[in-house]
Amino acid sequence: MAMSMGSGGDEDEVVSTINTTPLVDVMLVLLIIFLITIPVVVQTVPVKLPNETNIARQTKPENIEIAVNKDGDVFWNAKLVPDSNALFEKLKEIAVLNPQPEVHIRGDQNARYESIGRVMYQCQRASILKVSFVTEPPPKG
């Protein structure tokens, strides 16, 4: 039996196609590695996140409204408070009342967090027990 060896000359033809077998092998190995390692990387602690609620606040005359505008100015029931020390003194006066009034903080949407943080810090220093944030209710629909 004879074997046919192509065109019969001593000339080697140049193969101009790309051998994709090694590429496919490497890609399959990488895919398997990623499939094995991704579940290990994406582990999280199981926690139940709170749902958004909007509780209607009860306006009482003894509640204190503290507003912070976008410039960082602090207002005590619509009256400007000159500095943090004056705010602390006012909060200290109401902290000793029984029952202690609630403090409602109304922060402007464009206010810096630092300004709201200063008010929270002064409430903490004065031992205010109930501090709440007043927000806009979410749109319905």
CB 133 within 8 Å of CB 117:
no
In a domain, 17, yes or no: no
Provide the residue-wise pLDDT of the chain in tens; the chain has 141 residues.
555 555 555 567 777 788 888 899 999 999 998 888 877 666 666 666 666 666 666 667 678 999 999 999 999 988 999 999 999 999 999 999 988 999 999 988 888 999 999 999 999 999 999 998 887 776 676
In a domain, 102, yes or no: yes
Question: What whole-number distance in Å separates Cα of residue 75 and Cα of residue 116?
Answer: 12
CATH code of the domain containing 115: 3.30.420.270
Q: Environment class of residue 68 by beta-carbon count within 10 Å: exposed (0-12), middle (13-18) or buried (19+)?
A: buried
Return the percentage of the chain with pLDDT > 70, whole number. 74
Overall number of domains in the chain: 1
In a domain, 73, yes or no: yes
In a domain, 49, yes or no: no
Please tell me the pTM assigned to this model.
0.59
Question: What whole-number distance in Å separates Cα of residue 70 and Cα of residue 120?
Answer: 16
Domain that holds residue 98: 64-133
How do residues 36-56 score in pLDDT, each as one tens digit? 887 766 666 666 666 666 666
In a domain, 13, yes or no: no
In a domain, 26, yes or no: no
In a domain, 107, yes or no: yes
In a domain, 24, yes or no: no
